[in-house]
A and B are shown apart, each in its own frame.
Chain A
Amino acid sequence: MMLLAAPAINIDNAFLSGILGLIAFTLVMTVGVMYATWYERKIVARMQYRLGPTRTGPFGLLQPIADTFKLLTKEDLRPATADFIAFEAAVFAIFIPALMVFVAVPFTADWYISAIPMSLLYILAVSGLSFIGFLLAGWGSDNKYALLGGMRAAAQLISYEIPMILALVAVVMVTSTLDVYQMILYQDTVPLIVWQPLAFGIFLIASVAEVERPPFDIPTGESEVAGGVFIEYSGIRWSMFQLSSYVNMYAFALLGAFVFLGGWEWPFGTDIGWGYQLLLTMVKMSFFIFFYLLIRATVPRLRVDQLMSYAWKVLIPLSLYQIVTNGFVIVYDLPDVAFLLFSGLGVAALVYSAAFIVKRGEPRRPLTMVPVRATAKAAPPAPAVAADVVVEGAAT
């Protein structure tokens, strides 16, 4: 972990220190992802009347390691008709941007790989690259399910990029900076979730779609496209896809924790040392992670057109609303409470929107219950005697 604090080990070459930090971070992240799967399996299992992994080590803690060995030793298959270059390149086109995000992420006030002045822009730009990998994998696999999955992934990632970026633009307007570090400093007393709840809500929803987790796991929907782009991948390549999916999840969780929850800042003073700072960051990040896991176990999957209409008809207008009201507050120099006021109104609309997309068309009528009366008496000792025939609501 200490390698992360590249300045601390005094490597003059910024490039070299960045590379070293990235390598170290990749290793740490891999282990982190392994245990994220363990955590997820445990959490979801508890929600499902199950125990999750129990056999491998205490509480099944060695399960991720066993899984890793299984995945590494599985045969690595490539369909004979697959496009070699696209098929092989797709893995890296997804995996590398997922890790590159962390170059610009400040874990604590001192720990970061590289201090990029416009780090938010960098993070968004890099994370937006992954759809290329999905398209490559979908096209290169020479499989119709993969093709469908790739198209779905591209459409979904691009669609949800927009509300997410717009929501972050609203935050940028408030903080007047594109540097995540500066944004965290801005939240030294009050985290931005208080002033920008609508942007937070939009970011939360859009980030679930960006990491393709339920209910937005349409590109990989098991019951429809049977794994989508991953359908032809196996072994190490498949696990790299999974790895990048979880790394993405961490990335967006961290981003949310920094931009909306204040990262290592909290209202009770900032001089708390790097250990507590890291702890604060992790706790805030796990809020997002837990949210992702929670909804995975409980909600069904949206349909692809519903997904699109939710992004374009609900999230984007609301994020534009957030931007406009922010501009209004800033231009007229209203107190910060005005941010909360306008944004809160938007949150109400966001909450209602979920119900809004459901309640289209004619109103539902409940089931009609047709009563059936017993027409014969149960008379165990005596032979059955037909009682008066009373049939209400008989078949019409």
Chain B
Amino acid sequence: MVTEQHDRSLEVVDIPINMGPQHPSTHGVFRMVLVLDGEVCKDVIPHIGYMHRGGEKLMEAMDFRQGIGYCDRTEYLAQFSAELGYVMAVERLMELEIPDRAEYIRVILTELNRLSSHFMFMGAFGIDAGVFATSFTYAFPQREYIQELFEEVTGDRLMYAYFRVGGLAWEVTDNFVQRVHEVLVHTRQGLRDLDELLTKNEIFMVRCQGIGAFTADQAIAYGLSGPMLRASGVPWDLRKDDPYSVYDRFTFEIPVGNHGDVYDRYLVRLEEMRQSVNIIEQALEQLPAEGPIVAEKLPRRLRTPPGEVYSKVEAPRGEWGVYLVSKGGDKPYRLKMRSPSFCNLSALREMCIGQFMADAVMILGSMDIVLCDVDR
């Protein structure tokens, strides 16, 4: 921007400032270049792909059972949702009937996973807002109880690979129901703590309100999903509008925001956690005491007929979609993972322009992205 006259007057230049991939608040290896005019973002250029491992390509070389593990590694904070979307796609092509008990256990685990994922969000979001780790330490012990339960059931802390095509890998532990109830006690405690710490905190409110607001139309146009979409006022939840698994057997509420800003996204997630607790309790009541956990007529070798299916679940971050194209055989011909983080992140630029640099951090935090999921 050198002026032609080369006069000696002061030039006002915008500073391009490179945030990430090792910045504390980019939630992983995400990089964005903020073009700052003082403190205000004039442009935001997101750069992703640092974690790109060619997951879709890899899954083309894996058979349907092996692909489950890759779902865990892609969406590593909502593993059960990712697994569920994937196995449901395969099951739909194979036309498998899943036993009720397996469906209920899937729902319970998926909702617990939503809780643990949202706990992660709460903790990290508080840090983005500048709370010195207190939100983190409020959220993480409670998340840890859930992780412990998952570990008991699946044998692994993060990479569960517990949902299988046709049902579950193995039966849950004997005291599963009791353990879930115990975990829910801690979850409620964590929800109370976080609610008291953040929700009515005036500085938190002033930092969050009116920031990164998206109208319903904008949110739809940008393909936002999950809490991001609902915070913008679109009452869209796949558990309600396109119920999969046994979600049509529960009574719960979908929180919908009215402002579409960061604060609403926070509130929506907080309320969603309460509703998840609600769903888990109902599922525990309805859970058949015994029964098969794997579909009958499950072939030893998973082969789908040719065809395609777009399977989607309401993951904690939004619509986790799996577009599975099969040419027959035991591997996907093409598998596209529609990750909610990816789609939500694509709206980052639009949301951040004109906001303060500190707000860009908050907006990014409110998206609750998982970088493995973005890059796949």
Contact = CB atoms under 8 A, between A and B. Distances in A.
Q: Do chains A and B touch in the complex (CB under 8 A)?
A: yes
Interface of A: 44, 47-50, 144-145, 147-148, 214-215, 217-218, 221-224, 226, 296-306, 354-355, 357-358, 361, 364-378, 380-381, 384, 391, 393-396
A226 to B, nearest CB: 6
Nearest to A213: B132
A292 B304 CA distance: 63
Contact of A302 (B18, B23, B207): B207
A224 to B, nearest CB: 5
Contacts of A50: 137
B359 interface: yes
A298 B134 contact: yes
B138 A48 contact: yes
A162 to B, nearest CB: 21
Nearest to A310: B206
A214 B130 contact: yes
B222 interface: no
A300 B39 contact: no
Nearest to A355: B202
Contacts of A299: 130-131, 201, 203-204
B235 A378 contact: no
Contacts of B256: 367-370
Interface residues of B, number: 70
Contacts of A223: 24-25, 127-130, 361
B61 interface: no
Question: What 4 A-B pairs have minimum CB-CB distances, sorted nearest first?
Answer: A301-B130, A380-B288, A48-B137, A378-B286
Interface stretch (B66-74, B150-158, B241-249, B332-340): B241-249
20 contacts: A144-B18, A148-B15, A148-B357, A214-B130, A217-B130, A224-B361, A297-B132, A302-B207, A304-B39, A304-B358, A354-B202, A361-B209, A361-B210, A364-B259, A364-B263, A367-B258, A372-B237, A375-B248, A378-B249, A380-B289
**Residue of B25, B203, B253 with most chain A CB atoms under a 10 A cut-off:** B203
B252 interface: yes
Given A224-B25, A300-B126, A376-B248, A395 B258 contact: no
Contacts of A366: 258
A203 B135 CA distance: 28
A292 to B, nearest CB: 12
A304 B250 CA distance: 46
A358 B39 CA distance: 21
Interface in B338-369: 356-359, 361
A365 B258 contact: yes
A300 B253 contact: no
Interface stretch (B45-53, B112-120, B159-167, B264-272): B264-272
B100 A380 contact: yes
Contacts, number: 177
Contact of B253 (A145, A361, A370): A370
B212 interface: no
Contacts of B185: none
A367 B134 CA distance: 25
Interface in B157-201: 197-198, 201
Nearest to B130: A301
A258 to B, nearest CB: 28
B258 A302 contact: no
A365 B259 contact: yes
Contacts of B321: none
B254 interface: yes
B291 interface: yes
A151 to B, nearest CB: 8
Interface string B79-104: 00000000000000000000011000
B5 interface: no
A383 to B, nearest CB: 9
Contacts of B237: 372
Given A372-B251, A375-B248, A49 B258 contact: no
A369 B253 contact: yes
B323 interface: no
A214 B233 CA distance: 33
B357 A224 contact: yes
A370 B202 CA distance: 27
Interface in B256-300: 256-259, 263-264, 267-268, 271, 286, 288-289, 291
Given A224-B361, A299-B131, A369-B254, A305 B356 contact: yes
A376 B251 contact: no
A358 B356 contact: no
A374 B253 contact: no
Contacts of A224: 25, 357-358, 361
B207 A301 contact: yes
**Residue of A296, A357, A367, A380 with most chain B CB atoms under a 10 A cut-off:** A367
A301 B201 CA distance: 11
B18 to A, nearest CB: 8
A44 B253 CA distance: 37
A374 B24 CA distance: 43
B65 interface: no
A370 B254 contact: yes
Contacts of B267: 367
A164 B245 CA distance: 62
B327 interface: no
A367 B100 contact: no
